[in-house]
Amino acid sequence: MKYGIVGHTGRMGQELQKVFGEAGCSLVLTSNKQGGTCDTSPDVIVDFSSFDALPGTVGLCRKHRSGLVMGTTALKAQHFELLQDLGCELPVVQSFNFAIGVNVLKMILRDYAPFFQDWDMEISETHHNKKKDAPSGTALLLQDATGRDCPTHSLRLGGVPGDHSVQFGNEGEVVTFTHRALSRTVFALGALRAAHFIASAPAGLYSFEDVLETIRLSKDS
Amino acid sequence: MKYGIVGHTGRMGQELQKVFGEAGCSLVLTSNKQGGTCDTSPDVIVDFSSFDALPGTVGLCRKHRSGLVMGTTALKAQHFELLQDLGCELPVVQSFNFAIGVNVLKMILRDYAPFFQDWDMEISETHHNKKKDAPSGTALLLQDATGRDCPTHSLRLGGVPGDHSVQFGNEGEVVTFTHRALSRTVFALGALRAAHFIASAPAGLYSFEDVLETIRLSKDS
Amino acid sequence: MKYGIVGHTGRMGQELQKVFGEAGCSLVLTSNKQGGTCDTSPDVIVDFSSFDALPGTVGLCRKHRSGLVMGTTALKAQHFELLQDLGCELPVVQSFNFAIGVNVLKMILRDYAPFFQDWDMEISETHHNKKKDAPSGTALLLQDATGRDCPTHSLRLGGVPGDHSVQFGNEGEVVTFTHRALSRTVFALGALRAAHFIASAPAGLYSFEDVLETIRLSKDS
Amino acid sequence: MKYGIVGHTGRMGQELQKVFGEAGCSLVLTSNKQGGTCDTSPDVIVDFSSFDALPGTVGLCRKHRSGLVMGTTALKAQHFELLQDLGCELPVVQSFNFAIGVNVLKMILRDYAPFFQDWDMEISETHHNKKKDAPSGTALLLQDATGRDCPTHSLRLGGVPGDHSVQFGNEGEVVTFTHRALSRTVFALGALRAAHFIASAPAGLYSFEDVLETIRLSKDS
């Protein structure tokens, strides 16, 4: 697979190159605020940079007829409109969290939290001490999947990349769902999954859950 | 609800009386090897005693037109035939594990383990040091639900009632599903759920998963 | 060993009888608000009842020349004076927490927390949803042992008897100390240790740490 | 502080440069199989490379009158003799594990395991799936510190850098000591501590525990 990166010099840009490179993909396009390079048209363009870059990224996709993996956070309504339009022509995957495990837990909680409706529920998340927001966006995403309110506890400990745990307890038992990120690599691996999905997907605007469903279906067959 | 217990003097029999009593149910029939008592016909009979008792229990259900919650382990083919026959007349719930959380995890693993098919998988269970078998039946049940083989680790520590954890890991993340029994009460609460299910179910032989599905459906509506 | 219980009909009183009975001790004296019984003078009297009972308990110890294991919480200055006086004549062990593990962790944190002085620190505790105070007294006790302030998170989940965890993290590693109570039995087992200690101790007012030090010394020799 | 690295191009060599550089130390000497560079004499030389390099490293220390931080594993008797000799002239810190937390846990287990002598004990360790040995050297080190045999469980999960847990359980409680490495950075941070120790230590062969004791003493004062 030939791919391009918007924001190739950033920390996430470098992580993407490492993971895509180890998977045998060829980097054929790069782009950041200082300019860019292009050897040939990529199959997919990956952008985890900044919402400012999005209009330019959409232009590149149109020009090269490339699918898009969009991992930038803090997107607003006008950005989603651009992605929607692009999705009429090309396959686009957009998500705020590309960790596979977080997205599977989200699906599980959506499907199975009703069984725990009369149990107590608590969420804990632990992150490095430089993280400024609390609770984490992922904690909110997981809570949202359950459709319930609950206390959320934010621990800040050294360099922890990111742990999340959702717990349900009744008089006799406790069930815990835990996700632990080992490093930034998580998100690059998820982007790689999305890129492979795009390689064979028709035009459309997809979520990361659509990518995961395809993985499951292909394994079931 | 009026209920009966086969094996009412055993440890599990006493736990059942405590939990059903606190839920406002009336004990109207008891039975063990030494004999029994019967004030009136129960809506449901609960049996967590021994497979030896099963033919007698089935006879009591037929006589009183009572549904059956069957939690006895080590049942053999001939016992399942008896339960199958009884299920043609009356509602019967049979399971080897009445912890709600274990059964929900079983369903989750069956549905979602395919997402983790190329991740490493490890199971750990911790029980009190008097437990003789290893790995636990529940560890096997959870592994079976994933449809995969994996290493299983059995820790034996003091008086731990029973912890189970199923872990999946790839290069960048770890997802863990954990169940912790706080006491024997777990299983009595599950039996109470099954008894409530039986009160309004048509004749049939049900699993504990059928009971749980009903809980979910009633909550969705 | 012959022992007595003040508050023998309460939940803790019954737990004490179970644990001391299984250890081969003989209950020779009981006492509660309704009265009491006495077959013969006990070696030790155990009181986990209420601070109201303390003056009466001290009187019983004097009368029978019995040592005292005092596990009642919420003691005030005047109660400690009574215990101090009694300690001039007889061996007395007083503690707010008789779990061996909690007291060992307290000693460890006092001795080793200085190594983690420039690491982040977080305390979490999980208890049943009927517990009214937060954070738990034991969380405060553990924090106090470290000589540092830190965030404390209180989770309330079903019937959890009591988990405590103290975590230290820096850029590259996390160290966690965890205590998990499996049931009320913990505290009765600790009281039994204290009772054995008293059987051979000279007069004095002791903490549970003194009991534990003796265990270690006897094992070292 | 001016420092040198033997094996500066290896993975650990690069990690050391990152950590020492961020702490304001100046790299003034490098060495590997292909040769080396030397701007000026370093205060300390750090070697986490291979036991083959040790004689050369010792020679460099003598020549430059530099202290030594030796983190190479699989050292044999003759290597320890060389270090012993060097320790008569210069300060040398040798350890198989430079994670601060692991070494503190080792000290804690040595001091406090006697309290848990009649409790059950279990050790678990989780590492990435490319680790070839099991149990890990650190698991053996921790078990050794307790002076007891116990079952050890080795889980191999994706990219986990290294978790270790030592558990003690009796009828009523469980105490768990856990160490989690977040990355290779752990070991570089420990080497930095050892280098600072060396800067003011007299000649001698020291363990990493000696380094840690100094940290504690300086904090107590």
D148 against A185, higher pLDDT: D148
- Indicate the residue of B156, B159, B171 with minimum beta-carbon distance to D171: B159
Q: Residue D91 pLDDT > 70, yes or no?
A: yes
- D185-199 and D208-220 helices, crossing angle to 10°: 70
- Indicate the residue of B120, B153, B158 with minimum beta-carbon distance to D170: B158
> Helix, strand or coil for residue B2?
strand
Burial (CB < 10 A; 0-12, 13-18, 19+), residue A133, is: exposed
Q: Residue A133 pLDDT > 90, yes or no?
A: no
> Helix, strand or coil for residue D88?
coil
Instruction: Select from C109, C122, C184 the least CA-distant residue to C155.
Output: C122
pLDDT of residue D175: 98
Q: In what order do the strands lie in the sheet with B120-127?
A: A152-156, A120-127, A163-169, A173-181, B173-181, B163-169, B120-127, B152-156
Average pLDDT over residues A127-150: 91
Active-site residues of C, by number, are 127, 131
pLDDT of residue B221: 52
**Host H or E run for residue D176:** strand D173-181
Contact D179/D163 with Cβ under 8 angstroms? yes
Token pair 């149109």 is found at A62
Q: Residue D220 pLDDT > 60, yes or no?
A: no
Torsion (CA) C90, C95, C98, C101 in degrees, nearest 10: -120
Q: Alpha helix (H) ranges present in chain D?
A: 11-22, 54-64, 77-87, 100-112, 137-146, 185-199, 208-220
CB contact under 8 A, C172 and D178: no
> How many other CB atoms sit within 10 Å of the CB of residue D31?
22
- Indicate the residue of A158, A159, A182 with minimum beta-carbon distance to D159: A182
CB contact under 8 A, C151 and A151: no
Which chain D residues touch A if contact means CB-CB below 8 Å? 158-161, 182-183, 185
Report the C-alpha gap between A3 and A13 in whole angstroms.
Answer: 12
Identify the structural domains of chain D with CATH numbers, from first to last: 2-98+185-220 (3.40.50.720), 100-180 (3.30.360.10)
Q: Residue A210 pLDDT > 60, yes or no?
A: yes
pLDDT of residue C85: 97
Q: How close C67 gets to chain D, by Cα (Å)?
A: 24
pLDDT of residue D212: 87
Query: D104 to each of B155, C168, D152, D194, how far by Cα in Å?
Result: 25, 12, 20, 14
pLDDT of residue B219: 61
Q: Residue A206 pLDDT > 80, yes or no?
A: yes
Best mutation site among C12, C18, C20, C108 for testing chain D: the one with the most D CBs within 10 Å?
C108
Q: Residue A120 pLDDT > 60, yes or no?
A: yes
What does the buried/exposed string (b/e) look like for B144-180 if buried means 16 or more CB atoms within 10 Å of the residue's CB?
Answer: ebbeeeeebbbbbbbbbbbbbbbbbbbbbbbbbbbbb
Q: How close B190 gets to chain A, by Cα (Å)?
A: 10
* pLDDT level of residue A220 (50, 70, 90 thresholds): low
Question: What is the percentage of chain D residues whose pLDDT exceeds 70?
Answer: 97
> Chains that contact D by 3+ CB pairs under 8 Å?
A, B, C
Token pair 């768990």 is found at D176
pLDDT digits (tens, 9 = 90+) for A29-81: 999 999 999 999 999 999 999 889 999 999 999 999 999 999 987 788 999 99
Of the candidates B79, B127, B164, B179, the residue annotated as catalytic is B127
pLDDT of residue B216: 67
pLDDT of residue A212: 87
pLDDT one digit per residue (tens) for chain C, 221 residues:
999 999 999 888 999 999 999 999 999 999 999 999 999 999 999 999 988 999 999 999 999 999 999 998 778 899 999 999 999 999 999 988 899 999 999 999 999 999 999 999 999 999 999 887 899 888 998 999 999 999 999 999 999 999 999 999 998 999 999 999 998 788 899 999 999 999 999 999 999 989 988 876 666 55
Best mutation site among A127, A182, A183, A189 for testing chain D: the one with the most D CBs within 10 Å?
A182
pLDDT of residue A219: 61
Which chain A residues touch B if contact means CB-CB below 8 Å? 99-102, 104-105, 107-108, 111-112, 114-117, 168, 170-189, 212, 215-216, 219-220
pLDDT one digit per residue (tens) for chain B, 221 residues:
999 999 999 888 999 999 999 999 999 999 999 999 999 999 999 999 988 999 999 999 999 999 999 998 778 899 999 999 999 999 999 988 899 999 999 999 999 999 999 999 999 999 999 887 899 888 998 999 999 999 999 999 999 999 999 999 998 999 999 999 998 788 899 999 999 999 999 999 999 989 988 876 666 55
Looking at residue A167, the DSSP 8-state letter turns out to be E
Q: What is the 3-state secondary structure (H, E, C) of chain C?
A: CEEEEECCCCHHHHHHHHHHHHCCCEEEEEEECCEEEECCCCCEEEECCCHHHHHHHHHHHHHHCCEEEECCCCCCHHHHHHHHHHHCCCEEEECCCCCHHHHHHHHHHHHHHHHHCCCEEEEEEEECCCCCCCCCHHHHHHHHHHCCCCCEEEEECCCCCCEEEEEEECCCEEEEEEEEECCCHHHHHHHHHHHHHHHCCCCEEECHHHHHHHHHHHHHC
Q: Residue D68 pLDDT > 90, yes or no?
A: yes
B2 is catalytic: no
Residue A96: alpha-carbon gap to chain centroid: 5
pLDDT of residue B214: 81
Which chain C residues touch B if contact means CB-CB below 8 Å? 158-161, 182-183, 185
Chain pair B-C, CB pairs under 8 angstroms? 13
Tokens of C181: 């109570």
| Amino acid letter, residue C218 | S
Which residue in chain D is spatially nearest to B130 when comparing CA positions?
Answer: D171
pLDDT of residue B27: 97
Q: How close C184 gets to chain D, by Cα (Å)?
A: 7
> How many other CB atoms sit within 10 Å of the CB of residue B63?
10
B131 is catalytic: yes
Average pLDDT over residues A159-185: 94
pLDDT of residue C194: 96
pLDDT of residue B210: 92
